[in-house]
Homo-oligomer: A and B are copies of this chain.
Amino acid sequence: MDRIGDKWSVLVIVELASGPRRFRELQRAVEGISQRMLTLTVRRLERDGLITRTVLAAVPPQVTYDLTDRGASLTHLVKQLADWSLAHKDAIGDSREDYDRANPGNEIR
């Protein structure tokens, strides 16, 4: 379940919902993700059977990523998650500020 809520996994799955992508295309589409984090994220998603990694015989070899059926069955849920987060982002930020003011030095920042 942690994978599904992981921000970078969500954004990669949402991007692949529009079709197969190469690594560079994913890196451009998923704002703010480092090369290292994208490498880890696609490996985790591949390991969970949510995406496939296909190496095309070209010079240099090209790698494309695509959703599996399992990954595709998650897309609508993940999109709703992303939409909910976006819609509540500011309000959650305000709640956190209020909480931190009322509970200075709390350890859960």
How far in angstroms is the closest Cβ of chain B from A82?
A: 7
Which residue from B4, B44, B73, B99 sits with its C-beta under 8 Å from A47?
Answer: B99
Interface residues on A, range: 35 or more
Main secondary structure of the interface of A (DSSP, over half): helix
Which residues from chain B contact A40 at a C-beta distance below 8 Å? 108
Residues of A within 8 A of B (CB): 1-7, 10, 40, 43-44, 46-49, 70, 73-74, 77, 80-82, 84-85, 88, 91-92, 94-96, 99-100, 103, 106, 108
Q: Is the CB of A91 within 8 A of B106?
A: no
Q: Report Cα–Cα, A106/B39, bound state, in Å.
A: 12
Q: Report Cα–Cα, A94/B43, bound state, in Å.
A: 15
How far in angstroms is the closest Cβ of chain B from A93?
A: 9
Q: Report Cα–Cα, A75/B55, bound state, in Å.
A: 40
Given A5-B4, A5-B5, A74 and B70 touching (CB < 8 A)?
Answer: no
Q: Is the CB of A95 within 8 A of B49?
A: yes
